[in-house]
Amino acid sequence: MDIIKPRTLSGFMELLPAKQIRFEKMAEILRSTYASYGFAPLDTPAIEDAQILLAKGGGETEKQIYRFQKGDSDLALRFDLTVPLAKYVALHYNELAFPFRRFQISKVYRGERAQRGRFREFYQADIDIIGDGKLDILNEAEIPAIIYKVFRSFGLRRFQIRVNNRKILNGFYAMLGLTEKSGDIMRTVDKLDKIGAEKVKGILLEDCGLTEEQADEILTFIAIRGTNDQVLTALEGYAGRNERFDLGLKELKAVTENLAAFGVPEENFAVDLTIARGLDYYTGTVYETTLLDHPEIGSVCSGGRYDNLAGYYIEKELPGVGISIGLTRLFYVLDEQGLLNPALPSAPADALVLPMTENPGPAIALAEQLRSAGIRVQLYGEQKKFKQKMAYANKLEVPFAVLLGEDEIQEGVCSVKNMISGQQVKLAPAEAAAYIRAALEAEKGPLILET
Amino acid sequence: MDIIKPRTLSGFMELLPAKQIRFEKMAEILRSTYASYGFAPLDTPAIEDAQILLAKGGGETEKQIYRFQKGDSDLALRFDLTVPLAKYVALHYNELAFPFRRFQISKVYRGERAQRGRFREFYQADIDIIGDGKLDILNEAEIPAIIYKVFRSFGLRRFQIRVNNRKILNGFYAMLGLTEKSGDIMRTVDKLDKIGAEKVKGILLEDCGLTEEQADEILTFIAIRGTNDQVLTALEGYAGRNERFDLGLKELKAVTENLAAFGVPEENFAVDLTIARGLDYYTGTVYETTLLDHPEIGSVCSGGRYDNLAGYYIEKELPGVGISIGLTRLFYVLDEQGLLNPALPSAPADALVLPMTENPGPAIALAEQLRSAGIRVQLYGEQKKFKQKMAYANKLEVPFAVLLGEDEIQEGVCSVKNMISGQQVKLAPAEAAAYIRAALEAEKGPLILET
């Protein structure tokens, strides 16, 4: 037979079992946390009508999208989970209860140039809350509370959710008479961390055509730092000059105040006036999340408030607020940096049951008994030498091997071998289950390490 | 703004929240059951190199596949999970421990003609055990034991796993000198349930060109019925005439004997000589699973033993055994037939917390407290009239509303309203959590009903 050399396309993540098990744990934490806040799971098709996906159009999207014909149909793979959400909400508007809260953890597709750490197929883990006409500000405080819960559940403490409000920025630029240029200015200001205040000022003066005074005002504004209270107090100094600004400040205060009630500590949350988010459609609160010891990773969870989710599909005002975690990239970066806790068990089974007699019946029954006690058990039925069986257990990195020979069967016990310590004890099946469970319980730890 | 009418492509399942929640429960049962037997989760890309996916070729596959260019790449969407598994095992051969056990629950794509109940994007839920060179027969007994566990976990009792062995069939046809014609004969015999013995015989004589004697021998053979013991005893009568047949019989006996040890009751398992499975690559045990009260659904879980998983990609003998559940179709059919237990809660939240005061702080804290107790809680922050809030709770079908007004805050309690009975009680937060949990626990039932 002719052999075709197997390969996986570049830009497509395909993990070995031990890593996939860690990835699944992250996904499971996201699912259960999102569900605990009353978000409904959603699963839209990966393929949509290309005209519908591209209703908004836009340069990069059109270039990167996977688009193809099948019969007469013009099809495309989704490039994010927001456009399919907009389509879903518009299509099922009459059947949904608003506010409509959904989470979706699904793959999206972007045919970007292949590059280390960039993926063409990747998971996004999104939550959104969609209102019908109106949506209370309380939702904008709940979102960072959920981000907090997610990252704490990953095992992290050293992260910061940075929050701003687009109304404050837009109102501020309106005060300076710079509404028209606000897009360019925000893109420039966004580079502050990277290029420094001086270079930002240079660009504002030369490329954006601002006056010296305007540039200084902006630099003073984005230099506002301190505790959340200090930043809010400084912002009070600008109040009363622009309605939009005042509304934004009121919203930011409401978000900040409610976060304490949600149990988010001050150290995990910062009002940061440099955050703007690139996308045009954010209109209120915006979020970015950074790992404090790994600023080089950039934002690991971003989002914000928007006023018009589905205007391309339905004549209804559908405001919303949401966030997105680029799960595949986050996992890749954490793994690269060695931050995935290596002490956490990553074997597909907790115990490998090894029948040492010709009749596998007793070993089968033992394996079933251990499973009933909640242990993941693999039965090893291959006719191999003992040494090879142990080598297999080691390669799987299974924490326990459970041996069942004639002696054990006679005595009504099994031999439980801890594969790390090498310690071996004879226990009755129910005791063996309790022993293994206790050991697994003790080995639980954070999914992600802080270094 | 111009409105583009939203739609979801035909042949693509997109569920409303209440149904999606039921679907997720089915998927979760599959994940946890597969994991409990030591299968590792696998997640291969949906897009592969078209040349690799189509290594085997074949008419229907080529026609149905979604294939497209991106830049210079000839790409295609996977049409099953077996070919990607073969690629994965060949590619990562040196990094895997054999037997390699994996489960994958993922979407696959087939551009079939649109038809009610047929899907172009659908989930398959597969498990496979791959050996390196050899694979013990014990694995062929374990597979139906896992099928049994899955369907029992769905809440079903009235199902039957039908098992046969291709070596028995091939050996039997060899005895009659009909090896060359065995493919045609098996396809004909497969129609027995639908068209009856007389028509089968007619086709065997006229289309397959068999003698009267050969046709009668075949009809006698496939008419063997009874308990598993009776069928096996009848098969003994053919022993000693063909080596392959004898080996198949030995395997079938081993599978049957071990199933009792796995805890599979005789009524859920039947040796059935009419089962052959269409695919050419099955070489040993084959499985089909039917719901006894719904034979019209056909097989809901099929699979078998094969000798050569990845011959197109690697010069290694990699035998395996596996099964596949067409999850999307199964869910669709169960739903159509009204078999998804309607009494099972399907709301995105267990409780809706309604702040009845201007300051949402106490309600936020209460919601967090209930969540810590494992309850899925949605906080409702919209400024609406009480009646509208209740209408929302009803539309969501949330089982409990938790009201928190000035009175309750003063008394350190909350008002818990059972949305079905209308009963309302004042409870301290910890009591409220226990009360809601107890009620949810009592409402647990089978996912699928038997009617």
Work out the average pLDDT over B381-400.
Answer: 95
Closest CA to B359 of A343, A356, A260: A260
pLDDT at B366 over 70: yes
pLDDT of residue A1: 62
Work out the average pLDDT over B186-211.
Answer: 90
Using a CB-CB cut-off of 8 Å, the residues of chain B touching A349 are 38
Instruction: Provide the edge-to-edge strand list for the sheet that holds A67-70.
Output: A47-49, A73-77, A67-70
Residue with tokens 């069939």: B169
Whether residue A265 lies within 8 A of chain B, CB to CB, comes out as: no
Please, what sign has the CA dihedral across residues A419, A423, A428, A432? negative
Quick: pLDDT tens for B9-51. 999 999 999 999 999 999 999 999 999 999 999 999 999 999 9
pLDDT of residue A279: 62
Quick: pLDDT tens for B68-123. 999 889 999 999 999 999 999 999 999 999 999 999 999 999 998 878 888 999 99
Report for A276-285, B65-74, B188-197: range of highest mean pLDDT: B65-74
Distances (CA, A) of B75 to A277, B48, B70, B266, B354: 34, 6, 7, 47, 51
Quick: pLDDT tens for A204-216. 999 999 999 999 9
Whether residue A51 lies within 8 A of chain B, CB to CB, comes out as: yes
Rounded to two decimals, the ipTM of the complex is 0.95
Q: A14 vs B43: CB contact, 8 Å cut-off? A: yes
pLDDT at B168 over 70: yes
Q: How far is B168 from chain A (nearest CA, A)?
A: 23
Using a CB-CB cut-off of 8 Å, the residues of chain A touching B15 are 43
Length of chain A: 451
Interface A-B, measured as beta-carbon pairs within 8 A, has a size of 270
pLDDT of residue B1: 62
Q: A46 vs B121: CB contact, 8 Å cut-off? A: yes
pLDDT at B173 over 90: yes
Whether residue B88 lies within 8 A of chain A, CB to CB, comes out as: yes
Work out the average pLDDT over A259-274.
Answer: 92
pLDDT of residue B249: 98
How many angstroms separate the CA atoms of A3 and B301, rounded?
A: 31
CB < 8 Å from B in window 383-422 of A: 383, 392, 395-396
Of B95, B98, B378, the CB nearest to A101: B378
**Complete DSSP assignment for B39-97:** PEE----SEEEHHHHTSS--HHHHHH--EEEETTEEEEE-S-SHHHHHHHHHHTGGGS-
Whether residue B308 lies within 8 A of chain A, CB to CB, comes out as: no
Query: A241: how many CB neighbours lie within 10 A of its CB?
Result: 12
pLDDT band at B279 (very low <50, low <70, confident <90, very high): low
Whether residue B376 lies within 8 A of chain A, CB to CB, comes out as: yes
Q: A313 vs B136: CB contact, 8 Å cut-off? A: no
pLDDT band at A278 (very low <50, low <70, confident <90, very high): low
How many angstroms separate the CA atoms of A432 and A374, rounded?
A: 12
Summary mean pLDDT of chain B: 94
pLDDT of residue B316: 96
- Whether residue B277 contacts residue B211, with contact meaning beta carbons closer than 8 Å, is answered with no
Residue A385, amino acid: K
Closest CA to B324 of B300, B306, B342, B345: B300
pTM for the model stands at 0.96
pLDDT of residue A192: 86
Work out the average pLDDT over A5-11.
Answer: 95
Summary mean pLDDT of chain A: 94
pLDDT band at A63 (very low <50, low <70, confident <90, very high): confident
Using a CB-CB cut-off of 8 Å, the residues of chain A touching B30 are none
pLDDT of residue A409: 97
Whether residue B312 lies within 8 A of chain A, CB to CB, comes out as: yes
Work out the average pLDDT over A392-418.
Answer: 97
pLDDT at A413 over 80: yes
How many angstroms separate the CA atoms of A245 and A170, rounded?
A: 7
Using a CB-CB cut-off of 8 Å, the residues of chain B touching A377 are 36-38
Q: What are phi and psi of B315, to 5 degrees?
A: -85, 65
Quick: pLDDT tens for A110-146. 998 878 888 999 999 999 999 999 999 999 999 999 9
pLDDT of residue A199: 94
CB < 8 Å from B in window 232-261 of A: 257-258, 261
- Whether residue A27 contacts residue A123, with contact meaning beta carbons closer than 8 Å, is answered with yes
Q: Indicate the helix (H) or strand (E) that contains A184.
A: helix A182-189
Phi-psi map region of B365: left, alpha, beta (phi>0 left; psi -120 to 50 alpha)? alpha
Work out the average pLDDT over A144-161.
Answer: 95
Whether residue B442 lies within 8 A of chain A, CB to CB, comes out as: no
Residue A248, amino acid: G
How many angstroms separate the CA atoms of B343 and B37, rounded?
A: 30
Quick: pLDDT tens for A281-310. 899 999 999 999 988 888 999 999 999 999
Query: B27: how many CB neighbours lie within 10 A of its CB?
Result: 17
The tokens describing B167, both together, are 């070596």
Closest CA to B231 of B156, B165, B144, B321: B165
Query: A118: how many CB neighbours lie within 10 A of its CB?
Result: 14
Q: What are phi and psi of A143, to 5 degrees?
A: -60, -50
pLDDT at B148 over 90: yes
Q: B42 vs A20: CB contact, 8 Å cut-off? A: yes
Whether residue B46 lies within 8 A of chain A, CB to CB, comes out as: yes
B22 by Cβ neighbours in 10 Å (0-12 / 13-18 / 19+) ranks as buried
Whether residue B49 lies within 8 A of chain A, CB to CB, comes out as: yes
- Whether residue A90 contacts residue A314, with contact meaning beta carbons closer than 8 Å, is answered with yes
CB-based contacts of B320, cutoff 8 Å, min separation 6: B128, B129, B130, B131, B135, B305, B306, B309
How many angstroms separate the CA atoms of B138 and B391, rounded?
A: 56
pLDDT of residue B153: 95
Of B45, B86, B101, the CB nearest to A14: B45
pLDDT at A72 over 80: yes
CB-based contacts of B141, cutoff 8 Å, min separation 6: B254, B255, B257, B258, B259, B262
Name the DSSP class of B218.
H
Whether residue B35 lies within 8 A of chain A, CB to CB, comes out as: yes
pLDDT at B278 over 70: no
Whether residue B83 lies within 8 A of chain A, CB to CB, comes out as: no
Q: How far is B313 from chain A (nearest CA, A)?
A: 5
Q: B111 vs A15: CB contact, 8 Å cut-off? A: no
Strands B73-77 and B67-70: antiparallel
Q: B68 vs A66: CB contact, 8 Å cut-off? A: yes
The percentage of residues in chain A with a pLDDT greater than 90, rounded to a whole number, is: 85
Of B20, B120, B379, the CB nearest to A40: B20
Of A45, A51, A71, the CB nearest to B12: A45
